[in-house]
Amino acid sequence: MSLDDVLARRRGEAGTIVDVDEPHLKLVVFSLDGDWYAFHGERIREVLADCPVFFLPGCPPSLEGVINVRGEIESVLLLRSILGYPETADTANSRILIGQGKAMRSGIRVDRVEDVVDLPASRLEAPPHTIPDHLAALVLGLVSFGGRYVSVLDLERLFDDYRAGLR
C-alpha cells in the first residue's frame, strides 16, 4: 500500500471536519474581600487606577463621590457597600471600572482587578441555589477561572436597582 493510499483511507475514516465557532464571553474579573466577581466586558468601558474622588455632601454611603475622566464627570459607586461588604481603609490596589448600562453610566470601585479574560460561553454555569438572597438577582452565573469560582454579575440589573433605590 502506498502513502497516498494510506492517507486516502485515513481521510475517509476521519470523516468531515466540523469547524464550530463557539461564542465567547469577555469578562472583567475582580475581587472584593477575597471573593471573585466579574462583569461582562462589553459593559466595562475602561479600568482606571486610583484617581482623586471628590466627595458630594448628602449622598448615600454607597456613592463615594465623582471623578473627572477626560472632562466627563462620572459618579463612583462603592460596590463593597452595595453588595453588603464592610468598609475597608486599604485602597492601595483598588480600581474604578467605568460601567455602561442602557440608562446609566458610572464608575464602580472594586478592591482589585484580577484579569480580563475571554472564555467559551459554555463555561458559564447556572448560579447555585445557595447564593445569598441579596445577590441572587444579580448573579447571572458562575465560571471557573484560576482555580476559583467567579460570580458573573448583571451590571444592568445593578444599575437599575441602584437607580430605583433598591441597593
Q: What was the pLDDT predicted at 51?
A: 87
Nearest to 63 by CA among 52, 76, 54: 76
| pTM of full prediction above 0.85 | no
**Cα–Cα distance between 54 and 80 in angstroms, integer?**
18
pLDDT mean by block of 10 residues, the chain; 167 residues: 74 58 91 95 93 92 94 95 87 92 95 95 92 91 93 96 83
CA distances from 70 to 47, 48, 63, 65, 74 (A): 14, 12, 20, 16, 10
- b/e map of 29-68 (b: 16 or more CB within 10 Å)? bbbbeeebbbbbbebbeeebeeeebeeeeeeeeebbebbe
| Grid cell digits, residue 98 | 467605568
Q: Are 109 and 98 in contact (CB under 8 A)?
A: no
| Grid cell digits, residue 123 | 463555561
Residue with cell 472632562: 71
**Please, which residues bridge with residue 46 across strands?**
98
